[in-house]
Chains A and B, each alone.
Chain A
Amino acid sequence: MPIEMLERFDRIVNQRVNKLLLNRLEQGYRTTKYPNVDVNLSKPYRGRPEINFEADMITMKLCEENCPQSAIIANSEKKALNLGRCVFCGECERLSDGKFIHFTTDFSLATATQEDLVLCEENVIPKIEREINGKIRKLFGKSLQLRQVSAGGCNACEADINVLNTPFFDLSRFGIQIVASPRHADGMLITGPISKNMKLALLKTYEAIPDPKIIIAIGSCAISGGVFYESSEVVGGVDRILPVDLFIPGCPPHPLTTLKALIDYFSKY
């Protein structure tokens, strides 16, 4: 090879390596220290709602009537907010000036049952009981492969699952991976209100996953039909057709909500 060509080749390689290295240095390490270090989300974030059970009845009734998702029950016997129906639009907080319902910046929202999603006087904070799923943790605690299926999802939930794979959240450091085939999966992440047109494909994907398998419903659509709950074109919540192990509410849930739920429910770490 003539010497000029070698020099030119050398120059190109150097430039390329320089750009790669400089970018690498500039980017540094960006992975969050969560869960070892707490993360605080900034103020306007609407996370876990806090209910003031002492609020006056008129305000509560106003919120109940005006909730676009009919997620609020307020009468003399019971005051409750169903996280599965709620889309965190903040209407009740605005109408009650935060005196009845106030959205905190707490992103821990997931539960293992539908009942736990209903916040009331006996159940103020949604939580996952670590005892109930010892078997699952034993099986999947250090390695969990999940298949994601969008069944009528609006792509917000999907996008916020996708970011779990970016270097900031880095889901795979907990041994959890999202895989391409149901045959390789231990379970399914379902988003969307299950459009009737997707029902068959969803059930076939479910069947293709080997037993034992787990189902995670992500977003208010997958839990209750979300904003589409009145539509005749959707099935509604996942648990109408499949058994659900984990409910992660939100519209869409913040990636940290999903991350925390997966760690709490599965991880041995």
Chain B
Amino acid sequence: MFLKFRVNQFLKLSEIPLIHFYDFYNMVLSMIDDGAQIVHYLGFVENNCKKLMIVLRTIDNNDNNDNNLFIAITFAPTEYLAFTSQAKKFHLFEREIHEEFSINIQGHPQLKAVRSATTLSEEYQFYNITGDSVHQVAVGPVHAGIIGPGHFRFNCMGERVAHLEIKLGYQHRGVEKLICKSCFDITKLSNLMECVAGDSAVTNILTFSELIESAFELEKEGIITSDIKIIRTIALELERLSNHIGDLGALSGDVAFLPPDAYFGRMRGEFLNLLLLLSGNRFGKGLIRPAINFYKINLLDINYIEKKLNELLTEIKHVSELLFSTQEIIDRFEGIGVIDNKTALDLGLVGVAARASGVKYDVRKNFLPGYYSVLEKENKNITIQQRLSGDVWSRARIRYKEILDSISIIKNMLENLKSKTDYKTVEQSQDDSNFSSNYLLFKNKLQSKLLPSSAVIVAINEGWRGELTHLMITDEKSKIIRYKIKDPSFHNWSGLAYAMRDQEISDFPLCNKSFNLSYCGFDL
């Protein structure tokens, strides 16, 4: 009874099955039992009526590419028995629904606020383990490093962590509210999307752009040329490269082996500088906008990027060889922060953390968004990296393998760009003499269009942390009534809490870094 649909498919609200909650409940649970994972589970208000919407995905593990998305809506009951009591992966989703729509979700083990100010008040009850030998360690919100704020509460027995509770919400800036509140201004919204999580700026703006493009059905009009898609995909991969390399360096630094930390730290900057070359900003801000790319690359840039990538590839291989063959590193990475395959699936982990625990899921391969479908046809797409041990070592190795993959597909895409005969004539768009008048016309045309009424669109991309998705619901007056951003961290913070069980508390920085999750992407 669920509706099967594709990524970026334009759905009318009326098409989506509106199911009685009793059936909804049973069907969701039976799909979860069959291995479905949550993409979105959210509440929204339409015509003064509270509703719940769920988007599930099923991933085919047998390479037949039979991956599907399912959606259904139900009227929100005033109270119901928590999904979380049956499936852990609902934990944060249900807390969020409880917080935003005050639905009484019974049997939920920790029905606390996720982001609102009550998370800060004295009322917030931490999970306490009592006993003579148990003590608590409180860390944050202000941390020792240069990172976002969050509060970590450890219940420890000696050095051993029995339980870690992660309390976030400090970075809450009301992003989703801001999107619905403001009148639909593409420039403003695009700037906002790039600031949801600065380290995933490209992923967020790309997902937003794809969503808006499918809302206006621009893909059919042929506006989104393969050139545009290639540059977007290069930017996405550069973002992945810079972050993965930074993470490898920081992991090494966390166990006090400093040479790779220094070398990778510098190389990370080189990739950010390549993004600067593409977009004028080290984080790719300003490059991607719905239906348009402001910056085009010329042959000179292509050659420069290729040369730089080749140089860096050699260095990365050499430093990684040093990193992964050093005895102290092996000692400190192996068997630390283990998440086994079953736990990873139960918690619904995504991205690097999931693949390190043997979960075969990568949006780039499974849902083929944007230019990845072309790469897939040319047999140049990535292969999904997988490891089974689920420890810090695995997460580091997966990052290294993905770095190699990303460099090779960027090179492939640059080849594709070069093979176009007219490419030499393409210059920077700003040098175009009629650029501003054309741009104004284009912008007004896009802005004058109304968003489709009563529609739902889901866009998904593989950010460097994992699956990042946006969902938009409009009402009959074409106003956005709900815009949901789900950062991969929303799934993976629970993974970090699990990874710390039975670990020494001194391994926390290492485990934390091996996940490297987003505070602001979670807090929105």
Contacts and interface: CB of A to CB of B under 8 A. Distances in A.
Interface in A10-28: 12, 15-16, 19-20, 22-24, 26-27
Contact of A231 (B170, B174, B523): B174
Residue from the set B277, B519, B520 with the largest chain A CB neighbour count within 10 Å? B520
B268 interface: yes
B170 A201 contact: yes
A88 B282 CA distance: 12
Nearest to A198: B170
Contacts of A166: 262, 265-266, 268-269
Contacts of A167: 262, 265-266
Nearest to B199: A155
Contacts of A205: 142
A42 B171 contact: no
B126 interface: no
Interface string B170-181: 111111011001
B9 interface: no
Nearest to B144: A180
- Chain B interface main SS type: helix
Contact of B321 (A19, A30, A221): A19
B440 interface: yes
B62 to A, nearest CB: 38
Given A158-B148, A166-B265, A228-B173, A88 B120 contact: no
A231 B178 contact: yes
B76 interface: no
B174 A158 contact: no
Interface string A145-188: 00011111111111111110111100000000010111000000
Contacts of A69: 191
Interface residues of B, number: 75
- Counting chain A residues whose Cβ lies within 8 A of the other chain, the interface size class is 35 or more
Contacts of A158: 146-148, 198
B147 A90 contact: no
A192 B281 CA distance: 18
A163 B268 contact: yes
Given A155-B198, A192-B171, A226-B195, A163 B187 contact: no
B117 A196 contact: yes
Given A97-B435, A197-B120, A44 B280 contact: yes
B192 interface: yes
Interface in B270-318: 272, 276-283, 285-286, 294-295, 315, 318
A193 B173 contact: yes
Nearest to A253: B282
A152 B187 contact: no
A84 B283 CA distance: 19
A232 interface: yes
Given A88-B281, A198-B171, A230-B178, A252 B120 contact: no
Given A44-B279, A152-B173, A201-B149, A91 B199 contact: no
B263 A197 contact: no
Interface of B: 115, 117, 119-120, 141-142, 144-149, 169-175, 177-178, 181-182, 185, 187-188, 190-192, 194-199, 201, 246, 259, 262-263, 265-266, 268-269, 272, 276-283, 285-286, 294-295, 315, 318-319, 321-322, 325-327, 428, 430, 435-436, 439-440, 518-520, 523
18 contacts: A23-B259, A26-B318, A46-B280, A89-B187, A89-B190, A95-B440, A150-B147, A151-B149, A154-B201, A163-B272, A165-B265, A197-B119, A197-B170, A197-B171, A198-B170, A201-B141, A201-B142, A228-B178
